[in-house]
Amino acid sequence: MTAPQLALLLVPLVLPFAVRALAGRALDRLHPVAALWTLTLSALVLAAASVSALGALVLTGLLKLPLFAALGELVRPLPTPPNTLVLPVAAAATGVLTVSAWTLLRSAVRQFHAFRSARRQADRSPTAGDLCVIDSPHPDAYALPGRPHRIVVTTAMLRSLGPAEREALFAHERAHNTGGHHRFLLAAEIAAHCHPGLRSLRDTVRLAAERVADEAAATAVGDRRLTARAIARAALAAHASDSTRPDFAAAATTGPVPQRVAALLAPPARRPRTASWIALLLAACTAFSACAAAAGVVTFHHEVEVAQGEESR
């Protein structure tokens, strides 16, 4: 692996920081549904590319050590830049992968317990169709995935809203369950643990999911102003609530609510021509990251085969 090939593996580690600004602009200019799919797929591809690059860097450093070179059956040295460069980079990559794996595991355990607790509470509470009402002094409402899907709302939240506002809130949470938005949130959460540059993209995916549900609720009740008022009042009521719902259980009260309310109250406008260019640029950055990671991994594999004597240059 030459220095340029090593630099190729660094591309997927840098690009996630560069797409943060593009992600926000994509959400502003694309239709919310298109933005949700585009941002989530980009997050997954960027995460996979960064993990692949880190893995190749770790293996490169390990195979420079005599013990691992013997285990890898290398009959000749692996061609790489000087050890003074390769070994620190490999050590840093090992540390990043270890921390990422640990935080992902810890988050998965925490989310699993939160989800199981929420399902148990919902199963013990009275239901009407997909609506589940929990007796609690803390205003809260969220879409709970699983079989069956539930719209969980507390009695305190019901008291905070008028009848029409409740219907708008229920329509919002129902849109989350219908659209399977918990899958998008889970994917973005996993990606965020793979690379720190994708944490802001995770927040943008969450906002996109809320915008999709906002639009669906406005269509269902036929009143954008009512939907905006319901979301604003629900968010104000739940502001001080200590909800224990899992992070992938989407809720109308999450995200930058003023921005969402403004989008609902704004007059409908045609999508600007720059929307397609923003989407293409985001897709190009994602594809470039994936190609760089793939090329780096393939090159590394070829160099290992050469060092094993299985293939000549």
pLDDT band at 273 (very low <50, low <70, confident <90, very high): low
d(CA 255, CA 102): 26
On the question of pLDDT at 126 being above 70, the answer is yes
Task: Kindly state the average pLDDT of the residues 103-108.
Answer: 92
Q: Read off the amino acid at residue 18.
A: A
Average pLDDT over residues 133-145: 88
Round to whole Å and give the CA distance between 220 and 241.
27
Cβ(83)–Cβ(55) below 8 Å: no
Chain centroid offset of residue 225 CA: 30
Residue 200 pLDDT greater than 70, yes or no: yes
Highest mean pLDDT among 71-80, 110-119, 139-148, 213-222: 213-222
Q: Using 50, 70 and 90 to split pLDDT, how confident is the model at 18?
A: confident
pLDDT number for residue 104: 93
β-strands 150-154, 131-134 pairing: parallel
The mean pLDDT of 304-311, rounded to a whole number, is 68
Question: Has residue 40 got a pLDDT over 80?
Answer: yes
By DSSP bridging, strand 150-154 and strand 141-144 are: antiparallel
Strand-pair partners of 127? 132
- Provide the mean pLDDT of the chain: 85
* Mean pLDDT calculated for residue range 289-304: 84
Question: How much is the average pLDDT of 242-251?
Answer: 74
- Residue 107, burial from CB neighbour count under 10 angstroms (0-12, 13-18, 19+): middle
Residue 39 pLDDT greater than 80, yes or no? yes
Q: Does residue 277 surpass a pLDDT of 70?
A: yes
How much of the chain exceeds pLDDT 90, in percent? 39
Residue 9 and residue 84: Cα distance in Å, rounded? 17
pLDDT bucket at 138, cuts 50 / 70 / 90: confident
Choice between 75 and 132, residue whose per-residue pLDDT is larger: 132
> Is the pLDDT assigned to residue 4 strictly greater than 80?
no
From 3-7, 19-23, 32-36, 278-282, the region with the lowest mean pLDDT: 3-7
